[in-house]
Amino acid sequence: MQKKGKFDYILLETTGLADPGAVASMFWVDAELGSDIYLDGIITVVDSKYGLKHLTEEKPDGLVNEATRQVALADMILINKTDLVSEEELNKLRTTIRSINGLGKVLETQRSRTHLSNILDLHAYDTLSGISLQKKLQHVSTAPHLDQSIVTVTFDVPGSAEEESLNVFIQNLLWEKNVKNKDGRCMEVIRLKGLVSIKDKPQQMIVQGIHELYELEESRVNWKDDAERACQLVFIGKNLDKDILQQLFITAVAETKEQTTAPGQDGACPPH
């Protein structure tokens, strides 16, 4: 980036075993890097013939396999080599991908052929996404949660949130990791996205999170005076429980609340 002139676009291909979240995080923590370029989106390619095998492969000690994590973090998922499998096999793969990541856009390809306009200029992480985010959140996939280590959950809560309380709620999830599901397992949020209403702010606010990093920023869209304000959130992660997350959110960010121990926060989770 220190060279003269500007790049039109940088497409960074990681290794097949890479965690894209670690790469994406650089654009939020490196101010010098972020001043010149921005993170546009994460694209994951899934092999139709072997994808299901990789996504369902069990790892020792409860670890999440790399393929599942790559699908979970993707803003765009290309299901490639669709000509090499039957429609039944392809349907199983589609359902599995949707149960892991209900937010990302899915394209089906042969020989990875697709128009560049489908995968470039996604604006998945900046305020431009606020214009279309509300529409996208309304169409988050509600595919049944298969026996997957990573799933997508989403909920809408009417009303506005206190900004400080919202920050505490997110930090407990991403940093403290002290939120548990009904089985006593710690919830691990890998990806967080949402459109929220903050008390006393006219703009719709976008929240984005990857692993332990998150941003809360103003979109370019204002709430209409007669609109019913609400908070729409999507979580992609491990051991997630929608009912507990929603109740915790309501308890934590309500404009007036008593200090109580919400369900799912009855002790710290072990470090990992």
Q: Tens digits of per-residue pLDDT, 140-158?
A: 765 665 666 789 999 999 9
Which DSSP state fits 204?
A: E
Predicted local confidence at residue 128, as pLDDT: 56
pLDDT-based confidence at 130, cuts 50/70/90? low
Does 34 have pLDDT greater than 60? no
**Is pLDDT larger for residue 134 or for residue 122?**
122
pLDDT-based confidence at 257, cuts 50/70/90? very low
Name the CATH topology of 20-118.
Rossmann fold (3.40.50)
pLDDT-based confidence at 256, cuts 50/70/90? very low
Token duo for residue 30:
């490196």
Q: How many C-beta atoms surround the C-beta of residue 250 within 10 A?
A: 18
Q: Which amino acid is at 215?
A: E
Q: Which amino acid is at 242?
A: K
Predicted local confidence at residue 234, as pLDDT: 93
Identify which of 219, 142, 152 has the alpha carbon closest to the alpha carbon of residue 190. Answer: 152
* Angle of helix 242-253 versus helix 163-171 axis, rounded to 10: 140
Instruction: Give the pLDDT mean for 108-117.
Output: 95
Predicted local confidence at residue 127, as pLDDT: 66
Q: Judge: domain 129-253, CATH 3.30.1220.10.
A: yes
Predicted local confidence at residue 261, as pLDDT: 45
Domain residue limits, the chain = 20-118, 129-253
Q: Are 73 and 24 in contact (CB under 8 A)?
A: yes
Q: Express each pLDDT in 36-81 by its tens digit.
A: 678 889 999 999 999 999 998 887 776 778 899 999 999 999 999 9
**Is pLDDT larger for residue 217 or for residue 1?**
217
Token duo for residue 224:
């209409």
**Is pLDDT larger for residue 241 or for residue 38?**
241
Instruction: Give the pLDDT mean for 225-247.
Output: 92
Does 259 have pLDDT greater than 50? no
Does 173 have pLDDT greater than 80? yes
